[in-house]
């Protein structure tokens, strides 16, 4: 199969959001070379770890974000290392950096300097506030990005004495990684017209701010402030609950159908279970009446959920065109029949572990240029010999000397 990025080579100096962007490129065929300090990227030290044993080659988070990539080590804070880095740039299409601290410095080269070496190179910078505000020295991580950017404000419970709740791990890196990927794509497309690269300056804070759905429109256009609501959209006023416990001690997301045909199918289903109560009365045929009595309807549906298993509710509801779904743990997807039939998961052999691990696959399915997972995340410096040999012509002896000098 053709790969969209088979002719694209990327240097990735990243250990958070940029890693995810690099993964999106790597899955579509780009040659992504991870440039790491000799002691390894910070992301290698983040858990959970394979068999719960931390070491530089066992981070499962690192595994997930670095499929299909190569790893070289290089200390670019040393002059020799920096010189090697400049040589590498000559054949590079994109440099991704997310403020990874290498020694005490961020990427010690400006975009202008990069262009002097290779004018078609694209520099993609992901930083907490944007490069133009780098002097602000804003200290952050995934959790703080979400707090400052706005997503955290919307997530939590009706009871506002309970703190806002953080969504899944790395959400802010995914949000900004997606935008960074789009910026890089635009630069690649522009480069085909001009043969010139450019610098993309992405603010993680702005990306998070742009990802809170109705929160900003509610304020911008209606001067209203949203507040947290358990299991449902944050809103200016309280709404009806939509997540209920099921008989099998799980949870189910439900929605009262607005469409009257679908409503009638729901009533038939409730009747089969002797749960329709007064909902079959003619006045419920009017949407406005259903809306006025939403709490009463919801009370009945809550009881209905409590009498049935989550999966039964899901499939039966979907049969009658309702968007209900079980609220289940992430790992339950590993055995999901739908994903299995669509061959969603990819098994990858890790030679250093002598084990095959199952990875969640593509974010999208292209008919002619599919996203593929072909190799596991690299162990630290795994590709030094090949990359330095192929790109720079360095010999084994050269590398030994560089290693002795702690450059690689």
Partner 1 sequence: MNLPLSDIRVLDLTWVVSGPQASRLLADFGAEILKIERPTVGDPVRANHGMFVYFNRNKKAIQIDLNDPEGLNTFKELLLISDVVMENFSSGIMARWGLDYLGLSKINPTIVYLSMPGFGHDGPYKTYQSNGPTIQAISGQTYICGDPDLGPAGWGYSYMDHTAGYLGASAVLQALYHRNNTGEGQFIDLAQYEAATSLMGTYLLDYDVNGKDNATTLNRTANKGVNPAAAPQGAYEGKTPDTWIALSITTDQHWESLTHILKSDVLKNDERFKTFDSRLDNWEELDIEINSITKDLDVIQLAKQLQQENIPASHVQDTVTRAEKDIHLKKRNHITEVEDENGRLVRVDSLPFKMESIPDPDYIYAPQHGEHNEYVFNDILGKDL
Range 11-40, binding partner 1 (CB under 8 A) = 24, 28
- Residues in 152-181 at the binding interface with partner 1, rule: CB under 8 A: 152-157, 160-171, 174-176, 178-181
Binding to partner 1, residues 226-285 (CB under 8 A): 226-234, 242-243, 245, 251-253, 255
* For partner 1, the closer CB: 368 or 396: 368
Which CB sits closer to partner 1, 165 or 405?
A: 165
DSSP element (H, E) containing 260? helix 260-272
Q: Are 214 and 272 in contact (CB under 8 A)?
A: no
Region 47-86 residues binding partner 1, contact defined as CB under 8 A: 47-48, 50-52, 60-61, 63-65
- What secondary structure letter does DSSP report for 156? S
Q: Which stretch binds partner 1 (CB under 8 A): 91-99, 182-190, 270-278, 293-301?
A: 182-190
d(CA 6, CA 187): 17
Which residue of 87, 118, 134, 190 would you call a contact of partner 1, by CB under 8 A?
A: 190
364-393: contacts with partner 1 (CB under 8 A): 364-369
H-helix or E-strand spanning residue 23: helix 17-27
Sequence-distant (6+) residues with CB within 8 A of 336 are none
Could you say which of 341, 351, 396, 404 contacts partner 1 (CB under 8 A)? 341
Residue among 193, 160, 178, 159 at smallest CA distance from 18: 178
How far is 126 from 176, CA to CA, in rounded Å? 8
Strands 122-127 and 199-203: parallel
Footprint of partner 1 on 108-147 (CB under 8 A): 111, 129-130, 132-133, 136-141, 143-144, 147
Give CA–CA dist 214/218, Å, rounded.
6
324 three-state secondary structure: coil
Give the contact letters, 285-324, x = binds to partner 1 (CB under 8 A), - = no: -----------------------------x---x--xxxx
> Rounded to the nearest whole angstrom, what is the least distance from the CB of residue 149 to partner 1 in the complex?
7
Stretch that binds partner 1, among 100-108, 279-287, 355-363, 387-395 (CB under 8 A): 355-363
How far is 13 from 82, CA to CA, in rounded Å?
A: 13
- Residue 215 makes contact with partner 1 by CB under 8 A: yes
Q: Give CA angle at 109 (187, 193), nearest 5°.
A: 20
Q: Tell me the two tokens of residue 403.
A: 């290693």
Among 1, 189, 274, 393, binds partner 1 (CB under 8 A): 189
CA–CA separation, 92 and 143 (whole Å) = 33
Smallest distance from partner 1 to CB 50, Å: 6
User: Cβ of residue 57: shortest distance to partner 1, in angstroms?
Assistant: 13
With binding defined as CB under 8 A, does residue 92 bind partner 1? no
Structure tokens of 318? 């979907």
């Amino acid at each position: 199969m053709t790969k969209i990025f088979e002719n694209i080579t990327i240097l990735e100096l990243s250990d958070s959001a940029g890693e995810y962007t690099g993964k999106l490129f790597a899955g579509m065929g780009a040659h992504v070379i991870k440039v790491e300090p000799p002691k390894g990227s910070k992301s290698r030290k983040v858990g959970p770890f394979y068999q719960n044993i931390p070491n530089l080659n066992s981070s499962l988070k690192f595994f997930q974000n670095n499929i299909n990539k190569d790893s070289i080590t290089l200390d670019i804070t040393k002059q020799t290392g920096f010189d090697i880095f400049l040589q590498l740039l000559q054949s590079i299409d994109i440099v991704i950096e997310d403020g990874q601290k290498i020694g005490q410095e961020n990427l010690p080269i400006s975009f202008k300097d990069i262009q002097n070496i290779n004018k078609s190179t694209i520099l993609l910078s992901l930083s907490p506030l944007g490069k133009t505000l780098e002097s602000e020295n804003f200290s952050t991580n995934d959790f703080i990005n979400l707090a400052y950017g706005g997503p955290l404000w919307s997530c939590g419970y009706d009871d506002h004495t309970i703190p806002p709740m953080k969504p899944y791990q790395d959400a802010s890196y995914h949000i900004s990684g997606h935008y960074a990927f789009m910026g890089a794509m635009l630069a690649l497309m522009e480069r085909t017209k001009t043969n010139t690269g450019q610098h993309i300056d992405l603010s993680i804070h702005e990306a998070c701010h742009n990802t809170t759905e109705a929160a900003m429109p509610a304020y911008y256009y209606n001067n209203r402030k949203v507040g947290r609501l358990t299991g449902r959209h944050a809103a200016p006023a309280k709404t009806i609950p939509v997540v209920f416990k099921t008989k099998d001690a799980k949870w189910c997301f439900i929605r009262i159908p607005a469409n009257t045909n679908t409503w009638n199918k729901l009533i038939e289903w409730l009747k089969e279970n002797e749960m329709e109560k007064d909902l079959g009365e003619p006045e419920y045929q009017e949407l406005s009446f259903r809306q006025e009595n939403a709490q009463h309807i919801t009370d009945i549906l809550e009881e209905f959920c409590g009498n049935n298993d989550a999966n039964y509710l899901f499939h039966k509801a979907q049969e009658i065109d309702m968007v209900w779904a079980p609220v289940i743990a992430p790992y339950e997807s590993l055995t999901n029949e739908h994903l299995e039939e669509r061959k969603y998961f990819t098994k990858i052999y890790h030679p250093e572990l002598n084990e095959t691990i199952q990875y969640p696959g593509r974010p999208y399915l292209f008919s002619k240029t599919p996203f593929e997972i072909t190799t596991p995340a690299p162990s630290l410096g795994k590709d030094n010999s090949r990359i330095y040999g192929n790109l720079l012509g360095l010999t084994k002896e050269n590398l030994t000397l560089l290693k002795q000098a702690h450059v690689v």
